[in-house]
């Protein structure tokens, strides 16, 4: 792929004591999207934030809020995150009984819908859902914690999805989340990713480093 990827820093790695300022700083540093990881301590082994925090952060950036829901059941929270200011809402197909209905719900609220694949989740879900998606996310780590090591077997999955997107002719973003840094970013992009989620690599060193961090990721 010839275009530079979009960079979506994950605020999971930001300073939670100054979260609004962190979102503003990473925005000004050149982030394309703000990635927000929502975990419930049930679907994944960690607890992060809810819609009230998303709403509180909304005034700090006009960039798209890329909200990744790692919660189950997911359907009952879609509307709350939409109202809080999410622009893109992604969920895991295992997190609800009827993924197609979940996608329809997200899109009925005027939001973009994404489907997330854990390392062991098969791509067969795309056989009947792909035509309704705006984004497909590949988890290159097992979800639940930041700072994990990139799982290289997911590169084949990224390539497979890129081929499906190309064959479909649809404008679907392919996002990769987990272990993204200056070393793994080019591998993900070469495989077909056009959006990179990076937490540790974006927020390391404090606000004075954010611009360089993002520049390195984008051009690495």
Residue 27 within any structural domain of the chain: yes
Q: What is the DSSP string of 99-120?
A: HHHHHHHHHHTT-EEEEEE-TT
Is 127 annotated in a binding site? The answer is no
**pLDDT, tens only, 174-211:** 999 999 999 999 999 999 999 999 999 999 999 999 99
Residue 214 within any structural domain of the chain: yes
Domain harbouring 139, CATH code? 3.20.20.70
Residue 99 within any structural domain of the chain: yes
Is 105 annotated in a binding site? The answer is no
pLDDT at residue 145 greater than cutoff 90: no
The count of domains in the chain is: 1
Given pLDDT bands bounded at 50, 70 and 90, which one contains residue 219? confident
Residue 1 within any structural domain of the chain: no
Is 10 annotated in a binding site? The answer is yes
Spell out the residues 6+ positions from residue 204 whose beta carbon is closer than 8 angstroms to its own: 13, 213
What's the pTM value of the predicted model, to 2 decimals?
Answer: 0.96
Spell out the residues 6+ positions from residue 220 whose beta carbon is closer than 8 angstroms to its own: 182, 183, 185, 186
Residue 34 within any structural domain of the chain: yes
Is 121 annotated in a binding site? The answer is no
Range of the domain at 89: 6-219
Active site positions, annotated = 37, 177
């Amino acid at each position: 792929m010839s275009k530079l990827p979009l960079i979506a820093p994950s605020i999971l790695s930001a300073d939670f004591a100054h979260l609004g300022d962190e979102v503003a700083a990473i925005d000004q540093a050149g982030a394309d999207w703000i990635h927000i990881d929502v975990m419930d301590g049930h679907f994944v082994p960690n607890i992060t934030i809810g819609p009230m925090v998303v709403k509180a952060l909304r005034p700090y950036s006009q960039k798209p809020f890329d909200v990744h829901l790692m919660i189950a059941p997911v359907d009952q929270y879609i509307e709350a995150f939409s109202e809080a200011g999410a622009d893109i809402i992604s969920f895991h197909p295992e997190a609800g009984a009827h993924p197609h209905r979940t996608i329809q719900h997200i899109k009925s609220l005027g939001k973009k819908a994404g489907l997330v694949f854990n390392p062991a989740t098969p791509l067969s879900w795309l056989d009947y859902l792909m035509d309704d998606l705006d984004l497909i996310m590949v988890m290159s780590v097992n979800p639940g914690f930041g700072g994990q090591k990139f799982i290289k077997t997911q590169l084949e999955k990224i390539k497979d999805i890129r081929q499906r997107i190309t064959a479909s002719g649809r404008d679907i973003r392919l996002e990769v989340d987990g272990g993204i840094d200056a070393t793994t970013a080019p591998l993900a992009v070469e495989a077909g990713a056009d959006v990179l989620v990076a937490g540790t690599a974006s927020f390391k060193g404090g606000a004075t480093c954010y611009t360089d961090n993002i520049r390195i990721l984008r051009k690495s």
